[in-house]
Structure 1
């Protein structure tokens, strides 16, 4: 959760570097956006604001998904940068991650303790949390090295080995199990005919007030598919909190590339399950409704209630990293009632 815009001015340096490198060229906007993604530009909103300013100077021409980049003088760069920064700094929004929306649905107090009061989080030293971290890292390492390493067995083995080494002494997952998962993930990439794949990209939508990291983004010829990886087991029905996170990440991808995301995947590690989520207007309305509720809720300044989900003690409290702080609130309330 973040209040207002936080950006490093070097993001504009990256954008202008990309544009300068392509002076005199006509580029498809999809291709230009991929270049921006590869260069760590978190929000395409910055790019489009820059293009808008340069278009007013006739330096950039765009039509039907094509951008024609002319010679960009330094004076135009400085002027466009100054105007865009001025516009961006006027934005007053609360930026929320899809994961925070999911956590709010699970338990308003948990998120409040984690993000508002910044309570101490007590994570297990060994176990599922770190197993999940290792799985995500292994996927990232595999995807990042796919283009350079053609030996798939070596690629998979190396990614698993490096991920487990980083979390050595903290994980319980076996290397073979992790390798089997990576192998199936690689098969999915082939079956889906992705022309390119990116892993763990942070995206930001200035318009929607959402920021977050997407585990995997797969590109087809005319489609973009976000993929969320969960260490958990799939038990026949996707949990609402997982669904909310997937919807939010799909919004981020859709906003970045100015394209509709028709569906997304959730992959459950423990059961090797692949779940397809078809996006629709109803799901999007649910997500944004909850986002508004969350913003209103925390603006009251009150201590939020605990989770109201069925079986919340087992479902939420047992794995909560701020359980001790939450328990202290309940103890204090009981003491006050007795006074």
Structure 2
């Protein structure tokens, strides 16, 4: 329910991270659960009252499902649970270890400390983001600050989830994402990227027109490397592949990140090279609405002082 006014009732529902344990306990039977069935089982295990079940956010979404969703996302990023199929989940060995190590409630830091979680969210950003969710200082923050903080947190969550999906995708899907992004950014004479195949491609995945007239070309490499970082050798290979094509412009996309030596190497070659790591890629996807959609638009009203001033 959405309460307002000075007598508004504060929700007694467990906070989102307090759903970690019941969620893992539901999945601990070893089965693969369909999302809706899993949510019902979690609500039953927690023992929410009918009033709590009926609570909604301003968007109309049930508060319980929203909090379960945040817990699900965090545990999935930590690889404590996995999704073998769309809207289906099952526990992993990491999830079972969490249950074994924490007989009571599973604290947030225990999930954040899992190395897999840090693959998607930088430590500084993770702490700042979840500080706003768990302990918002309503007395010190004005409404605009609270709204901005919430928007920033959702953006961070979306970016992290996007990167996770990209790392889980197969090479062909990753190339499709890159191709779609480049077209959305305005590249391509015919709105398409031509794939490069055969032994002579040198690892390059495609070529796209830089402008609608097709006066110049951009050669593209899109790779989901298993390494956490991409070093100088990979950049040198990329430059060599461009040289065999007589290409002057290239873009290297990856879900990983580039070392300082790799970035330096890209600036010391005659070709014009852009390096797009996982963080920059997800930022571009969000800016150009690739793989994301607008979930809600909020209209905020304020008093028109000019109207009351008679102007």
Give the structure-1-normalised TM-score. 0.24
Structure number with bigger Rg: 2
Higher relative contact order (CA 8 A, sep 6+): 1
